[in-house]
Each structure stands twice: as structure tokens, then as C-alpha cells.
Amino acid sequence: MLPALSYTSLEEFEDDYIEALVEEAADVASEHVWWNQPFSLSADKRNPNLLSGLTKLMHRYIEDSTGEARKVEYRDDVLMGAVDTLTLFEMLAFLSKEHEFTWQVFIPIEPRPKPVGRIIEGEIEPKLFELIMPEIDALEITEKELNDTKLHQTLRETHFPQR
């Protein structure tokens, strides 16, 4: 499972349109309870006419209130990371379709991010789903578990009782 994904628009936008899309993304992202980090957009640092963002999907370790790091159950982390990945793809697809543009999705690695697929005017390339399917299959995570919001809430409460 991927610890994070980044994404950049391939089309350029005017400043006021960038601002409107950033706000729209924040509204859309607020509709989901994120496992690690929410979907968010900003003007790209290298080209401010592009939109970009990065979403951390997994935790691996969580620091408790005493500052002690504890390991997150791997299956829980993968399940919740997959839920967020699918939600992220849906949100990127929504904006892409609504505003008729393309996203390039990357794995954020050094020295430069690795492109792994695109979302073109709302259509998600199938190879993006292939990023998460091997781990989902290996851990025998079911579609029911991916869609079970009560289970997701229980896992959040288990791993983040202070929230």
C-alpha cells in the first residue's frame, strides 16, 4: 500500500480560478473523515498556475499522548488507506469532470515523484486502482469492509481515542 499520493493538474488556470478550485476541494474533502491526511489543493510551488496536492494515506506508527510511538495494525492501516485512496480518486475525478481537466497522479518519492496514472475529465485510468489492489487482495480485504463506515469509525476510535 502506498504511504501517500500526490497529484497535479496538467492544465493551467488563472489565479482566481485556482482560488475557487482550492475552496471547492476543501468543501468536497470535508465530506469525508480522513484516516491520515485530507485531500487538499494549492497552487503548485513551481508553477502557480497549476493545482497540486499531496495526501498521506497511511500511518504505520501513531504517537500517543505521552509521545510514545506505537505501531498501527498493518491490516487496519491498509484498509483505511485504501478507503482514503478510493475517496481521493473520486474527489479528483469529480473536480476533473466538473472543470474539464486532467490530473497526473504521482507516488511522491525522491529525487522526483513517479507518475503512475491520470484522471482525465472524470475518467480514472484503471492502472491507478492497480496501485492498491495487490495489498487489498493479499490481506483479503473485502468490498464490504471497504464500504463499512461503522467499521471505519470503530478503527478510528481504536487507533485515535483522543480525537
Which amino acid, one-letter code, is at 112? Answer: R
Using DSSP, state whether 59 is helix, strand or coil.
Answer: coil
Q: What's the CA dihedral at 35, 40, 46, 51 to 10 degrees?
A: 130
Per-residue pLDDT, 163: 59
Other CB atoms within a 10 A radius of the CB of residue 83 amount to 25
Q: Can you give the pLDDT at residue 9?
A: 98
For residue 132, give its domain range: 4-159
Which cell numbers in the block locate residue 106?
504521482
pLDDT score recorded for residue 19: 96
Over the chain (163 residues), the average pLDDT of each successive run of 10 is 93 96 97 95 96 95 80 94 97 97 96 95 97 95 97 93 68
Q: 0.85 cut: is pTM over it? A: yes
Counted domains in the chain? 1
